[in-house]
Chain A
Amino acid sequence: MFPPALIMIIGAALIPLAPVRLRPALLIVAPMLTLLMVWNLGDGLLMTAPFLSYEIALVEASDLRRLFATIFALMAMISGLYMFRHARVLEMSASLAYAAGAVGVSFAGDLLSLYLFWEFMVLFSILVVWSGGTEQSRAAGIRYAIMLLIGGIILKVGIEAVYVQTGTHAIQALELDSVASWLLLLGVLIHAAAPPVSAWLADANPSASPTGSVILSAFTTKTAVLALILLFPGQQVLIWIGMYMIFYGIIYALLDNDIRRMLAYAIVNQVGFMVVGVGIGTGLALNGVVALAFAHIIFQALLLMSAGVVVIQTGKRNCTDLGGLYRTMPVTAICGTIGAMAMSAFPLTSGFVSGAMIAESAASGEPTWVWIGLLAAMAGVFVVVGLKFPWLVFFGKDAGLQAKDPSWNMQAAMIIFAVACVLLGVFPSVLTQFLPFDTVYSAYTVNHLLTQLVLLLIASGVFFAILPLLRRLSIQIVDTDFLYRRVGVQIWRSFIHLLVVLNGVFQTRVLDPGKRLPQFWFRYHGPEGPLARTWPTGSMLLWVAVMLVVILIGARLL
């Protein structure tokens, strides 16, 4: 028995060593073998290992965990197919290791092994960002690294605090009644790009290479969602946080002009839906979250794949510079549009079923505003991604760019995921039969279809009303990262200034006098110093006489 993640870790280690021709094979075969192993795992605790005098649970399987591991491995496989002709060897290797970390987290049986795989995952995701190779990816990668390492250490602090408090590392639903569990929640939420640090995602993702963006969209935030499902199901506070993320994502995606950054904000939005679902916490809601996570990884990757193709083939990254590409790159246009529809929960796509499950669970048992909020948000997503992305990039006004469809492997990857989006929408039972929580739900009711279509109709009305505004859009928007980047830098500078002052005081008051002390001694006691040199007998006698006189006078006076 060994952790399923090990297959991909070995694959990642072999890629740089293997002959160039074998690398794509490794990149695709390793996740395939992982998938095989994942589906042959029995349930329950399967493997433990001694570590730091604890016995940690390295592999524990269940339906929920298996489903997440499946989509992670699948994602690694298809994105491997997408990237292998375009990416550098380091990016390929790091991507596979990154995905391996995510698979490891899926099966982590206790908090300690969860943390270990988690950090492993984060480390290699940093390399994926850096593989972008530009100055922007360098700076964004360092910011990303610092943010996620802080998230990691808060997670670690939380885990230790929980351990000290409860005496166990077991993964179980926690109550938010102590600093410890709040810290743990905070650590997980930072990785889920929750407020106020949502900005790291939109900062890092578009700064990676076009292929790296695809990889980065899948793992970090979804493992955080898995952790939330396992640790904090039904915590009311998550509804608020998720709602914030949903609308944050919509507003920033609406205002942003860079296509990949726009899609990165959409990730925050979609993860927001999942966080709300976890907050609702019923079986239906959690099933919805799992289904949405599964579907989202596919359609988000599909969107970023098509956006990546556009960036690679045209060299342009802003919506306002693009348009009319469907004529010259039909495959990309169709696939991208299917992805956008799936994200907008369009009927007959994968997003429709999963989105409906979360909305339905909010309709019963939660305050009405949650349900209304979710519906409004779905309409919003249709505006800012479902219509804005395909319209401005592939249709709309022709920008006169003569870009062609990409190489066969990129097309194949996009087609596979596009088919998957439709398949999961038309035959939802392919996925729903594996959902971990026991509830029956059918999305295709007349009532629900009607609601959704009316919603989408209103949304398209809104979109074409604001379209002229979007075309002129090239404003620089301020995000919360402005705050901590500026304020943080300011605090750091002040601290450095304090250090410089303290150092100066220490230097002039202690060290410099300390250095002068030997010079002082040397001046009087050194070879030529007045107290050490040889004196003529005459002057010595004179001084003896002076001393005697002083003593005599002194004695007389006393």
Chain B
Amino acid sequence: MTANTALILTLLIPLFGSVLIGLTGRWPNLRETVTMVTAVSLFACVIRVLMGLYASEEIGVEVVSVMSGVGIAFNTEPLSIIFAMVASGLWVVTSVYAFGYMRGTKEVNQTRFYVCFAIALFGAMGIAFSANLLTLFIFYEVLTISTYPLVIHKGDAKAKAGGRTYLGILMTTSIVLLLPAIIWVYAVAGTLDFMPGGILQGHLTTIPATLLLLLFLFGIAKAAVMPVHKWLPAAMVAPTPVSALLHAVAVVKAGVFTLIKVLVYVFGSDFLAEVPYESIGVYLAGFTVVAASCVALRQTNIKRMLAYSTIGQLGYIVMATLALAPFSEIGAAIHIVSHAFGKITLFFTAGAIYVASKKTELAQLNGIGWRMPITMTAFAIGAMSMIGVPPTAGFVSKWFIMSGAFAVENYFVIVVLVLSTALNAAYFMPVIYNAFFKAEDVKPVKDHAEAPVSMVAALCVTAALTLLFFFFNGPVLDLETQIFGGAL
């Protein structure tokens, strides 16, 4: 199998997988086997593409060419392979988790759930491997639409209201802001292809460039820069596997990934450095980081707190990318991975708690650490990673972001990082304390221990990844260095 075939397969496998899942919906065991096979073979294909990249094979496929410089085309580069690896690899783990969760909560419409999940992964793969802005935009919308049924999965009024906000914000921003921005780029540059060094240099004067930057910043609402972040807490009405893989990994990372792609391959770092008031973006993202952490402090629901934490962590990535230092770009790209591991662990534990005890609020967690020691230990590891203390993944990315900020003497970024560390500690520490050191308020009606085995296994895997990434981050680091340069 050549790397090009593998590239095409990464798109076809989830697409046909979703059809097969739909067809086998009447036999749950078979359906779940199909899901698993799909997820594993997708991951295998992504690995094949990665090996192709390592062997410097020529990878690129053009499917349709609409007009010159515009078409549906796919290729790969280090950043996209990392995003694809994270999304597809964690899909395997999430599938195992989802089997336990969906059966444990006796959800209805499970077939629709798995079908939409596979289509969402199709969207994510398309975003990862898109070779130009048009392709990226199409798959961006595929991802939005395919996740909508997952958000309103419960079907009650609350879920529908959440879904309206979700679709409303994501669709509106993408059509009103992102699409015009893309057309604008085409109008001035005559192409939409992602090129190393950017395509805008020499085609755009400075002030309009600032405007274009802001259009992208808010148009890509999936990156959740305030104030277009509200869809993320709204999406928390979805079942937990959705929140875990899609709203902590695939969708939000698609957002920051898109933004980094635009900044690096459309604007280009050199041109970006010339854009006046480019630092507005840094300030907006910095504000998002601090404000989201403050809001997270006031949340009472576990998943909503995690959602606001995600908004803050995405802010790091945006801020670091816009800080325009090679090291912080590397840090931003690594944070895509390290935040994914940590946050998916946190969501997995939230779901495990829900399945085992039906608890959803932070105030109910007193003493739960002794009933579910594995789950809550995993929670502690995830929380440590969010705070960024060693030995967890979060430390690695923050280290690079900070190094970069020092290199360009951007003290705003450093102050934001320091503040947000304190705030993160302030909202994660009490949870860990209450779980392990407080006594249970009331004995639960039904005695419970850990959640089903498949869920515990999944969260152990991601917690282990969070720890291991601290020690074994070499491959990711090497890949990033290829794009962003900067001798380490």
A150 touches B418 (CB 8 A): yes
B387 touches A149 (CB 8 A): yes
B426 touches A511 (CB 8 A): no
* B138 contacts A by Cβ under 8 Å: no
Within 8 A of A (CB), among B183-203: none
Kindly provide the distance from the CB of B297 to the nearest chain A CB, expressed in whole angstroms.
Answer: 8
Kindly list chain A residues whose C-beta atoms are within 8 Å of the C-beta of B402: 156-157, 160
Assembly CA distance A514 to B167 (angstroms): 12
A149 touches B396 (CB 8 A): no
Kindly list chain B residues whose C-beta atoms are within 8 Å of the C-beta of A126: 429
Q: Which residue of B lies closest to A50 (CB)?
A: B474
B389 touches A160 (CB 8 A): no
* A154 contacts B by Cβ under 8 Å: yes
* B295 contacts A by Cβ under 8 Å: yes
Assembly CA distance A51 to B291 (angstroms): 33
Q: A494-512, CB under 8 A of B: which get 1 and which 0?
A: 0110010010001000110
Whether A145 contacts B429 in the complex (CB less than 8 A), given A119-B389, A120-B390, comes out as: yes
A53 touches B477 (CB 8 A): yes
* B108 contacts A by Cβ under 8 Å: no
* B430 contacts A by Cβ under 8 Å: yes
Q: Which residue of B lies closest to A147 (CB)?
A: B422
* A142 contacts B by Cβ under 8 Å: yes
A138 touches B437 (CB 8 A): yes
* B230 contacts A by Cβ under 8 Å: yes
B473 touches A52 (CB 8 A): yes
A152 touches B389 (CB 8 A): yes
A150 touches B389 (CB 8 A): no
Kindly provide the distance from the CB of B284 to the nearest chain A CB, expressed in whole angstroms.
Answer: 13
Within 8 A of A (CB), among B409-432: 414, 417-418, 421-422, 425-426, 429-430
Whether A499 contacts B422 in the complex (CB less than 8 A), given A119-B389, A515-B168, comes out as: no
Kindly list chain B residues whose C-beta atoms are within 8 Å of the C-beta of A499: 291, 294-295
* A131 contacts B by Cβ under 8 Å: yes
* A141 contacts B by Cβ under 8 Å: yes
Assembly CA distance A152 to B398 (angstroms): 13
Within 8 A of A (CB), among B210-237: 227, 230
* A492 contacts B by Cβ under 8 Å: yes
Whether A163 contacts B403 in the complex (CB less than 8 A), given A53-B488, A149-B421, comes out as: yes
Number of A-B contacts (CB under 8 A): 93
* A123 contacts B by Cβ under 8 Å: yes
A123 touches B437 (CB 8 A): no
Assembly CA distance A386 to B410 (angstroms): 51
B473 touches A123 (CB 8 A): no
A130 touches B433 (CB 8 A): yes
B426 touches A142 (CB 8 A): yes
Kindly list chain A residues whose C-beta atoms are within 8 Å of the C-beta of B473: 52
Interface size on B, residues (CB 8 A): 41
Within 8 A of A (CB), among B429-447: 429-430, 433, 436-438
A138 touches B403 (CB 8 A): no
A116 touches B391 (CB 8 A): yes
* B12 contacts A by Cβ under 8 Å: no
* B407 contacts A by Cβ under 8 Å: yes
* A450 contacts B by Cβ under 8 Å: no
A123 touches B384 (CB 8 A): yes
Assembly CA distance A131 to B429 (angstroms): 14
Kindly provide the distance from the CB of A511 to the nearest chain B CB, expressed in whole angstroms.
Answer: 7
Which residue of A51, A146, A156 contacts B422 across the interface (Cβ within 8 Å)? A146
Q: Which residue of B lies closest to A133 (CB)?
A: B437
Kindly list chain B residues whose C-beta atoms are within 8 Å of the C-beta of A161: 406
* A90 contacts B by Cβ under 8 Å: yes
Kindly list chain B residues whose C-beta atoms are within 8 Å of the C-beta of A52: 396, 399-400, 473, 477, 488
* B33 contacts A by Cβ under 8 Å: no
Which residue of B291, B403, B426 contacts A164 across the interface (Cβ within 8 Å)? B403
Within 8 A of B (CB), among A140-183: 141-142, 145-146, 149-150, 152-154, 156-157, 160-161, 163-164
Assembly CA distance A157 to B399 (angstroms): 9
Kindly list chain B residues whose C-beta atoms are within 8 Å of the C-beta of A150: 418, 421-422
* B298 contacts A by Cβ under 8 Å: yes
B414 touches A157 (CB 8 A): yes
Kindly list chain A residues whose C-beta atoms are within 8 Å of the C-beta of B436: 90, 130
Whether A119 contacts B390 in the complex (CB less than 8 A), given A53-B488, A146-B426, A514-B168, comes out as: yes
A506 touches B227 (CB 8 A): yes
B390 touches A116 (CB 8 A): yes
Within 8 A of A (CB), among B157-175: 164, 168, 172
Kindly provide the distance from the CB of B404 to the nearest chain A CB, expressed in whole angstroms.
Answer: 10
Assembly CA distance A125 to B289 (angstroms): 28
Kindly provide the distance from the CB of A164 to the nearest chain B CB, expressed in whole angstroms.
Answer: 4
Kindly provide the distance from the CB of B112 to the nearest chain A CB, expressed in whole angstroms.
Answer: 25
Kindly provide the distance from the CB of A92 to the nearest chain B CB, expressed in whole angstroms.
Answer: 15
Kindly list chain B residues whose C-beta atoms are within 8 Å of the C-beta of A120: 390-391
Kindly list chain B residues whose C-beta atoms are within 8 Å of the C-beta of A511: 230
Which residue of A53, A138, A492 contacts B294 across the interface (Cβ within 8 Å)? A492
A160 touches B417 (CB 8 A): no
Kindly list chain B residues whose C-beta atoms are within 8 Å of the C-beta of A510: 227
Kindly list chain B residues whose C-beta atoms are within 8 Å of the C-beta of A496: 294, 298
Q: Which residue of A lies closest to B399 (CB)?
A: A52
Assembly CA distance A54 to B400 (angstroms): 12
Assembly CA distance A515 to B169 (angstroms): 10
B418 touches A157 (CB 8 A): yes
B425 touches A160 (CB 8 A): no
A160 touches B403 (CB 8 A): yes
Whether A149 contacts B422 in the complex (CB less than 8 A), given A52-B473, A142-B433, A514-B172, comes out as: yes
Kindly provide the distance from the CB of B285 to the nearest chain A CB, expressed in whole angstroms.
Answer: 16
Assembly CA distance A137 to B434 (angstroms): 12
Kindly provide the distance from the CB of A278 to the nearest chain B CB, expressed in whole angstroms.
Answer: 26
Kindly list chain A residues whose C-beta atoms are within 8 Å of the C-beta of B477: 52-53
Q: A124-140, CB under 8 A of B: which get 1 and which 0?
A: 00100011010001100
B425 touches A149 (CB 8 A): yes
Assembly CA distance A119 to B421 (angstroms): 13
Kindly provide the distance from the CB of B478 to the nearest chain A CB, expressed in whole angstroms.
Answer: 9
Which residue of A54, A142, A152 contacts B429 across the interface (Cβ within 8 Å)? A142
Assembly CA distance A97 to B471 (angstroms): 19
Q: B444-488, CB under 8 A of A: which get 1 and which 0?
A: 000000000000000000000000000101100100000000001
Kindly provide the distance from the CB of B194 to the nearest chain A CB, expressed in whole angstroms.
Answer: 27
Kindly provide the distance from the CB of B331 to the nearest chain A CB, expressed in whole angstroms.
Answer: 11
A164 touches B168 (CB 8 A): no
Assembly CA distance A161 to B421 (angstroms): 18
Kindly provide the distance from the CB of A474 to the nearest chain B CB, expressed in whole angstroms.
Answer: 30
Kindly list chain B residues whose C-beta atoms are within 8 Å of the C-beta of A119: 389-390
Kindly list chain B residues whose C-beta atoms are within 8 Å of the C-beta of A514: 168, 172
Kindly provide the distance from the CB of B338 to the nearest chain A CB, expressed in whole angstroms.
Answer: 12
Assembly CA distance A193 to B474 (angstroms): 37
Q: Which residue of A lies closest to B172 (CB)?
A: A514
Which residue of B390, B400, B437, B474 contacts A131 across the interface (Cβ within 8 Å)? B437
Kindly list chain B residues whose C-beta atoms are within 8 Å of the C-beta of A502: 227
Q: A303-344, CB under 8 A of B: which get 1 and which 0?
A: 000000000000000000000000000000000000000000
Within 8 A of A (CB), among B87-115: none
Assembly CA distance A138 to B436 (angstroms): 11
Kindly list chain A residues whose C-beta atoms are within 8 Å of the C-beta of B388: 153
Assembly CA distance A506 to B295 (angstroms): 15
A residues in contact (CB < 8 Å) with B: 50-54, 90, 115-116, 119-120, 123, 126, 130-131, 133, 137-138, 141-142, 145-146, 149-150, 152-154, 156-157, 160-161, 163-164, 492, 495-496, 499, 502, 506, 510-511, 514-515
Q: A160-B399, A164-B407, A495-B291 are in contact. List 7 more A-B contacts (CB 8 A).
A: A53-B474, A90-B436, A142-B429, A149-B422, A495-B290, A506-B227, A510-B227
Q: Closest 10 CB pairs between A and B?
A: A53-B488, A164-B406, A153-B421, A149-B425, A506-B227, A116-B390, A130-B437, A153-B418, A119-B389, A142-B429
Q: List 17 A-B contacts (CB under 8 A).
A: A52-B488, A115-B390, A120-B391, A126-B429, A131-B437, A141-B433, A145-B425, A146-B429, A153-B388, A153-B418, A153-B422, A157-B406, A161-B406, A164-B407, A495-B294, A496-B294, A499-B291
